[in-house]
Amino acid sequence: MRLVPLAGRTEDAIQHALLSHGWEGDLSRTTSAGLESLAFHLTHVEPQALQSLVSAGARLGIDVITGDDWALLAGPRARVSALARPMTCPEPLRELAMALGHALPGEDPLLWQTGAGPVALDRPVIMGILNLTPDSFSDGGRHTGVEPALTRADLLIAGGAAILDVGGESTRPGAVPVEEEEELARVIPVLQAVAARFPETILSIDTTKSSVARAAIDAGATVVNDVSGLRLDPAMGEVVARRQAGLVLMHSRGGAGHLATEEGEGYPGGVLAAVLRELGEAIERARRAGVPAERIVVDPGLGFGKSTEHALELLRGVRALRELGRPILIGPSRKRFLGELTGRPVAERDIATAAACALGWMGGARIFRVHEPGLVRDALAVAASVCPR
């Protein structure tokens, strides 16, 4: 007899073991998913509910730790799911059961629909940043103009970028908002030139203005990356819906020129809970505008009104964002929190960026917005091999 411990995420190791015994891919995946380990932190819990939870946890084989008005519960997904049944659970646990039902992650999306067709998410997808602003925090002024932008696009694609995110307005702290005419003048000629030279590459427009998004789609963009999550321009969702573009909804607070300041750092209930709630509201705005769910990606907005501690909480909690049911994009590239953790200046944070992206993949992120794809591509290749989808 030989006993071999299973390493890494238990559900991944179990799926590999089932496949080795001839189980089919879908069956092995769904079976192992039922054993995924989940944990939840509950606060403001009534005493009667706490007592009932302890009893239910013992009956179902779920670990429960309680305090005066809080609880932690953890266990395999299949067992936690048994608690998320309002019609069969004890009366004191009805509210908890409904909340668990909403919080349990669904099947991870396999595809993201864009205006250029579906993007497969079984492997990491890199979105390369093409800044056309003179005042971007990382590379402002270096790629403005068509020829420098084309040269930069070529390097990003060679480094592994499948998507190019073109932006004409900086969101760095203290940035001055750009008028529509100026933003259009910066991005439209470049989008047209890049679309002509690299027709197989998906182009994204990074803007909060519906008029810019509309013109950018006409110029070749097939994704809209709205860092305001449809908060700043009510017409943006309708433009995306009518043009059948892909949509990235990023979490942020505040208005133009203040998206990346520390003014939005107030998260008394925890940053992860706030991001989940507010991204859910953004998805609802998109739905009301007519954007189908399969066209939406969510981004927790690392560095946007968030401290280093907040960024770390979000990286640790990426898996919780799966509750939203949409693919997850993260953009840690060269952000302030990486500088605070490493002591490196902006230009020397690409290794830290690659590490953050690898951790993000292992948590469930599938799309990675970065300045330098090369290091990130290699880090993600290792992470995806150790922790396949």
Catalytic residues: 335, 369
d(Cα 223, Cα 202) in Å, to the nearest integer? 8
Q: Which SS3 state, helix, strand or coil, does residue 298 take?
A: strand
Question: Which residues are CB-neighbours of 277 under 8 A, at least 6 positions away?
Answer: none
What one-letter code names the amino acid at 88? T
Write phi, then psi, for 367 (nearest 5 degrees). -125, 140
d(Cα 203, Cα 224) in Å, to the nearest integer? 9
Q: Which SS3 state, helix, strand or coil, does residue 47 take?
A: helix
Question: Two tokens at 108?
Answer: 């991870």
Question: Two tokens at 197?
Answer: 């030279």
d(Cα 26, Cα 32) in Å, to the nearest integer? 10
| Closest to 363 measured CA to CA, from 327, 303, 330, 315 | 315
The position carrying tokens 């910066």 is: 186
Q: Which SS3 state, helix, strand or coil, does residue 206 take?
A: strand
Tell me the CB-side half-sphere exposure of residue 298, using CA atoms within 13 A: 29
Query: Which DSSP state fits 326?
Result: S
d(Cα 239, Cα 100) in Å, to the nearest integer? 35
